[in-house]
Amino acid sequence: MTRTALLLVDIQNDYFEGGLWPLHQMDRVTHTAAGILAKARKTGRQVIHVLHEGASDAPFFRPGTQGAKIHDSVVPVSGETVVLKHRPNSFHETELLDILRKTGVTRVQIIGAMAQMCIDATARAARDFGFEVEVVADAVAAKSVVWNGHNVSASDVHAAFMASLSGTYATVVPHAKEAS
């Protein structure tokens, strides 16, 4: 029997306008994520919030700051687990794997930020640990980058990472309405 957990990764204030590291269309992404979260809560699916904290001199997600807090639109409620991490991979030196295994989870649905960092690292690790993985593309945010003098738009970064995860590491569904 498949038991699915919803992982909300790094939906934190610093990723929104006015934060220290705003992402492209984060409000839209979070609106979609909030809808997925509401559905998970309604159906009784296990919900796990992943919270990233950097060092005190990090460019964003500094401990104890408003920017490091989970955004109000997806704030955990009683009974929902919060996993604290310090690296992009949500499994690295956290209790996430133990939590999923102890509760019999075989499939994870991943949403949040950033496509090119924590979503990618977490999805790949989840698959390596034997979980079925689903990523909901319109509930994942990305940030533009510059590489070798080439400006890569957030939309192109997002598409490249969704494409690279699709098939081998995850089932990437384009829209929340298609997500289970």
* pLDDT single digits (tens) 90-101: 999 999 999 999
DSSP 8-state code for residue 71 = P
Name the strand (E) or helix (H) holding 107: strand 107-113
Interval 167-171 mean pLDDT: 95
Q: Which domain holds residue 79?
A: 4-178
- Our CA dihedral for 87, 114, 131, 159, rounded to 10 degrees, sits at -140
How high is the mean pLDDT of the chain? 96
- CATH number for the domain that contains residue 81: 3.40.50.850
* pLDDT single digits (tens) 47-88: 999 999 999 999 999 999 999 999 999 999 999 999 999 999
What does the pLDDT read at residue 175?
A: 84
The pTM assigned to this predicted structure is: 0.96
> What total number of domains does the chain contain?
1
In the structure, what pLDDT confidence band is assigned to residue 1 with cuts at 50, 70 and 90? low
Neighbours of 37 (CB within 10 A): 25
Neighbours of 107 (CB within 10 A): 16
pLDDT at 176 over 90: no
pLDDT at 141 over 90: yes
What does the pLDDT read at residue 2?
A: 74
